[in-house]
Structures are given as structure tokens and as C-alpha cells.
Structure 1
């Protein structure tokens, strides 16, 4: 279990574990012993939990570092650091438990509305990628503080637009976000909303956005399958400040008066020798 959580195996003579570690190991083993999950699923649960928790922990340590810097000390006194940490960590722990419960309730509600098929683990979803144009070049021209502000602003904008559009943010990978949504029209609104919001933010580079629809395999918080790959390829092909969609999205929106679709010539990208894209926009 220790390695599944993202830590190296400990030597027999190392003193690393407490009663909490023993209790966690027993809990994982109990799930398998009770037949609730098999060993393979238990390992996958541990890995998925660890990945999310690791990112959360890094963010929280960054928050503590910023709080320390605000005290006016380059290296805050040890007693002060300990006191501040003791005050902040319980609040963060309570907040993350609250947020987890809210997301769990939302996920259960979606499962009730769209129950998975007993014979097929895939779900019909619309998948979108949004990628900041020229991110590497932009980072060379900005200070660390400016870069940090840009990343925070990008995260705030994308999270708000995706949530308001009824979508789910799957992950952020550097200068790119991946989101999914149940309805194709909602995905189109999110994609165009992201483009428009970022247009209005002078501090953010323009976006390339790709959108594809069809069967997707959700797996421990991430999504896989050809639809995901097509959305990624469309993103890499799109011009700055534009949205490209695949045939599935184009067909679903063909009679929707809110949108316009302009077919462009097929493109050759990695894994697809002839990918047919459409440019999506709002109807004037």
C-alpha cells in the first residue's frame, strides 16, 4: 500500500509509521477481505487518492509558505511557524472534507440520472480541452510573481466557466484543462464561454479549444478513450482563439440555432491520417 500511495518502500530498520498508518493499512485490507473490492481495485483506489492528495498537500504547503512570508520574516521563528500551522491545518482539513462530501453527493446524483450500463463501462460524454497559446514563450517574458498570478487567474476563470456551464473539470495539466459534460450543447457553451472569458483577460494568452463527443471510459476521476484523444488532437490543430469540434459534436448541433458550424479541410495528426474538424462559433 505504501508504494501505491506514492512513497518509496521503507527499509526494515526505518522508523516511519505510526498507529494511524497501521489503521489505514488494516482498513484497506478489510475492504478486500470483506469482498467489497478486489486487490486490484484497492490498489487503484490508493493510487487515485494519493495523486489527488499529493497535489492538495503541495498547494496547502504553498499556502502556508505564503502566510509565513506575510509575517515579514524570510525564515519565520520556529515557534511562530508551528503555531500558525496548528491554527491553519485543522481549518483546511475541515474544508477539504466538506468539499469532498459535496462532490460525492453531486457524483451520486449524476449516477442516478445517468446510470452506467451493466454491459458497458463507458458513458456518453462531451470532452473538451482548452490550451493556452504560446505558454512556454510567455513564461520567459514574465517574472515568477507574474507567472504565478497568470496561472491562478487561468485556474479561476476555467473553473468558474466550466462549473457555471454544468461541466466537470477533470484535470489541469500545466497550461491545459480537460473538462467533460453530459450534453453536447452545454459543452459547446462552455468551450465558447472559455474562449470569450479569456479574450477579456489581458493577462492571459488566447486559447485553442477542441471538443469531441461519444463514448468515454471514466476511470477513478480521469477519462480515457478515442473521444478524449480526438479532442486533444483538435486542440493541437485549432488556431488561437478558436474552437474546433468533431463530427459527433457537429451532428448534434446541426439544428441548434444558437451555433454556427463551418467545416474545414481534413487534417492529418498523430494517430489520425484524416480527421474532419468543424469550426464552432455563436450565431450572430
Structure 2
């Protein structure tokens, strides 16, 4: 085939680059990729990605065909794709792959099992948000590793294909493991909560104070900034939390969970100090860094594998979700544990009913007490 006559070498003047392009085109043709698709990919400057795109699935079905094939309403198939954060195609556009058919088949199994459509779509929405960030971060990692001066199109295409063949299956295994670990932790929280209700306490529980600090507006920020920038913000939160807890033992950083950090301490006074310092440290990062808010609760919790479970964990997390940006809000039990310490200024807030808590929770905004004037 005369690739130059077909316009597939247009704009490539360097002899080595033209030779690389020809080798790549010959390979793609031999793999069965039609000429028109090659032309479209060349015009969109994505010839080096065609191997990967083929590995990830050939666009061969319409949404209508997928719906009929698996026995689901067409609108549900389209909604599922939309909630996953993917483009919503015209029902008769031939843009879906075998992966879309498999996803729709699994959706039908969930639907047939009696799970609500609303709940399934909510899971899809959360899954789509998280995996879009994973894919964008992975894309940046691979791009930075492979886009080096002097690499020809043929080699770059091979590198992308090899990375996809290796990373895809491995990432799937890791994601399954991480999902299992998170499910285990959340189920433990549910079990501990039921045990507290049944017994009025949990065997082996110890009194602790728990704090969560989260970045305000982090999810919406993800819609406006690149994934690598979002990842840098989350990493910086982890660094700030680590620095704050290292400076004030016995406060300990338990974990960071995307846009939030979980802290624990047997000393509620020290935990309040650390929470306020962490919120202030976020303010000092400048206008481009999201503001923090924190919630603190105190009570008996159960320690397992470095994590903590029980009502105070749930209460602290819920309080964080309703705290105003730049503030630290504590439950009444935390104030009772500290007592009338002149070190703090407590501003009473309306009692709140928090999800998962069977009684209204007294709340207080906490600030350092005003310094006593000298002389």
C-alpha cells in the first residue's frame, strides 16, 4: 500500500520517523485494522494507541443491541454507562465493546437479585468517579515513563501495548484485594455497632478519642483539575497529617482515605490540639489548597489490625461531614472527657441526629481560648 498517497505520512519529514510510521502501519494493517480506521487515528494523532485500543475491545455493538442481547431496558443500559462517567451514545451508534456486553450482563444479575435500580446506579456513579481518577493517574504514570526523546512510533506503540497487557490484569487483582479489605473494615464497623447495642458495650473496647479531617469540596474539585493535581492534594493532606501527629504524641495517624485523614489518641486534649493545627496547616497551604474541617468524638472503641471500630468512629466521621470549612467540631462526650479546661473555648451548636446514631448528639465548635491579657 502507498501510505504516502493515502495521506498517512503527511507532516513526517524525518526519514527515520517515516520508516517507523511505515512499519507500524504495516503491522496494524496485518492485524486487521481497516484503512479508514488508520486514517481516522492518524488524523487524531493516536496511531500509537491503536494496539492498546484493540486490546481493550473492538467497538462493534450499539447500545440497543447490547440491551436486547442481555435482556435489559435500553434506558437502563444507557444510564449505567452514563453513571460510570462514560459518554452516553446514541442508541444506534456502534461504539460499544464486549466489555460493555459483560458489564450489562452483570448489571442484569444485580437487577435480578432484587437490588434496587437506584442503588445499583449509585454504586456505578461512585465506581466511575474513583476509577476515572485511577485511569487518569495511571495514564500519567505510563506517559511520563514512555514519552522520552528519540522513541519512534513503533516502539512507543509496543511499549503502550506491553504496559496495558501487564498492568491491566495486575491492577484488576489489586483492585479486588483493596475492595475486599474495605468491605471487611466496614463490615467490622457494622458488627461492632450491633454488639454495642446488644450488650451496652464491646468486650475488649478501650476509651479513645477519634478525629476525622477532610478536604472540603474535594469531589467537585476532581471535576475541574487533572487527576495528578488531585492526587498531589491528597498526598499533601497525608503529609500534613503525618507532620501534625508526629509533633504531638500520643496522637497517631491511623490512615488517609482519599480526601480524609483519621487520627486517634487516648488523650482528647492532645487530639483537639492536633486537629486544630491540621486545619490551620491546610489554611497556610494557600488559596489553591482546599480547606479542611474536622470532627472529634470520644468513647469505647475496638482496635483491630491497626484500625479502630465503634460508635465514636462513626460519630466523628458524621460530625466531619456537617462541620463548616476551617472548623473543628467535637461531640459532647469529648467535652465531658476534657472537662472545664480553660485552654478551650466551646461554642454550643444545636444537637444533631446523625446517620447510624440512635440518639441526638450534643455538638460544640472548639477554638483555643483567648489569651489572658498580661499585667
- Contact 2:315/2:354, CA 8 A, preserved across alignment: no
Equivalent residue for 2:248, pick from 152, 165, 169: 165
CA distance in 1, matches of 2:321, 2:158: 49
Equivalent residue for 1:243, pick from 328, 352, 356: 328
* Aligned equivalent of 1:201: 285
Name the SS for the 1:131 alignment partner: strand
CA distance in 2, matches of 1:131, 1:147: 14
- The answer as to 2:207 corresponding to 1:128 is no
Structure 1 length-normalised TM: 0.58
* Aligned equivalent of 1:258: 343
* Aligned equivalent of 1:276: 362
Shift of 1:168: 1.6
- The answer as to 2:315 corresponding to 1:230 is yes
Change over 3 Å in CA distance of 1:249–1:77 after alignment to 2: same
- The answer as to 2:235 corresponding to 1:152 is yes
- Contact 2:296/2:319, CA 8 A, preserved across alignment: yes
| Equivalences for residues 59-70 of structure 1 within 5 A | 68=145
Shift of 1:139: 1.3
Equivalent residue for 1:140, pick from 220, 223, 234: 223
- Contact 1:211/1:249, CA 8 A, preserved across alignment: yes
- Contact 2:237/2:261, CA 8 A, preserved across alignment: no
1:188-238 deviation line (CA, Å, top 9, x unaligned): 111101111011112321112110112110011211001111111111121
CA distance in 1, matches of 2:207, 2:147: 48
Change over 3 Å in CA distance of 1:279–1:70 after alignment to 2: farther
Change over 3 Å in CA distance of 1:66–1:228 after alignment to 2: farther
Change over 3 Å in CA distance of 1:128–1:229 after alignment to 2: same
Higher alpha-carbon Rg = 2
* Aligned equivalent of 1:28: none
- Contact 1:209/1:242, CA 8 A, preserved across alignment: yes
CA distance in 2, matches of 1:237, 1:70: 44
Name the SS for the 1:263 alignment partner: strand
Count of aligned positions: 186
- Contact 1:154/1:204, CA 8 A, preserved across alignment: no
- Contact 1:209/1:238, CA 8 A, preserved across alignment: yes
CA distance in 2, matches of 1:120, 1:269: 25
Unaligned runs of 5+ in 2: 1-133, 160-201, 371-375
- Contact 1:132/1:208, CA 8 A, preserved across alignment: yes
1:41-85 deviation line (CA, Å, top 9, x unaligned): xxxxxxxxxxxxxxxxx9xxx8x969846966696999xxxxxxx
Equivalent residue for 2:306, pick from 216, 221, 232: 221
- Contact 2:222/2:230, CA 8 A, preserved across alignment: yes
Structure 2 length-normalised TM: 0.45
Unaligned runs of 5+ in 1: 1-57, 79-118
Change over 3 Å in CA distance of 1:187–1:76 after alignment to 2: farther
CA distance in 2, matches of 1:161, 1:206: 16
CA distance in 1, matches of 2:157, 2:255: 34
Shift of 1:156: 1.1
CA distance in 2, matches of 1:124, 1:143: 42
| Equivalences for residues 30-109 of structure 1 within 5 A | 68=145
